Structure 1
């Protein structure tokens, strides 16, 4: 098979495109399988994936196939030759979490306060430190991000990952 040329797609006729054709159903199945694998690997740690949406620009073909192109090629094409595709994956609610506690909101708490709150409802804190720029609204040492989010029903004994703001670096 010879590669398609950009001239047929509305760009410079001398630049060859790097295209990969794939059936839409195969693309969706591959993404779903990879997300399922990630979900299985996160479950023992007390985490789960939420709804995931994938948006892409593709070249549509007949018979339910699309051509995936690299970012450089996409920039060189006229935008009216590309189509938007959207895949949304919504995981099933885990059966074992139905009777568990709701994750409390620990944002803006210190690590020791977050640990006390989580322990009081039967959950475990998994703490890490991240750059304060993730959430400049909090003070250094306070919780910036938590997963699962506040209000999520999770299994008793599950881990709640919380990222605390690092101390600001001087001269940054």
Structure 2
């Protein structure tokens, strides 16, 4: 699905859920974006999936955890990181399964989903597509005015996905260029 810009509610804000899919931990991060573009932290955590007895059960935990987040925080839009090719085909396949489970859970709710490659997320937040995790976490804390506490990596990555969607949507709104075209330019 392509999102041209966040649909602002009557309160003048939009709530975005960012998802950093993973087969061991899936990060979720929720932000509110005001009509003037200011982003505010709402919630972030990692859904821990390793307690499951097998891989299919991990996917079940992911769906249940995501359902609970969707119920509690009622996001208007969802943004998710796309799969990147890792050194291991098996790891990439498991990541793809986790991402698919997350997408299916959100699609069943009929919430708009935007997808962003890792390179675009890093470029959007740090200015370099090859930025490291510490640089991304630093920018997430800075942009959301969070204290200098260590963010759990998957949760910080999920917030980065949500922030990227907010920034890309604002740029799309200003320029009239659809977000899917902006993503291609940054990839």
TM over 0.5: no
The structure that is strand-richer by fraction is 1
Select the structure with the greater relative contact order (CA < 8 A; seq sep ≥ 6). Answer: 2
Higher helix share: 2
> How high is the TM-score relative to the length of structure 2?
0.22
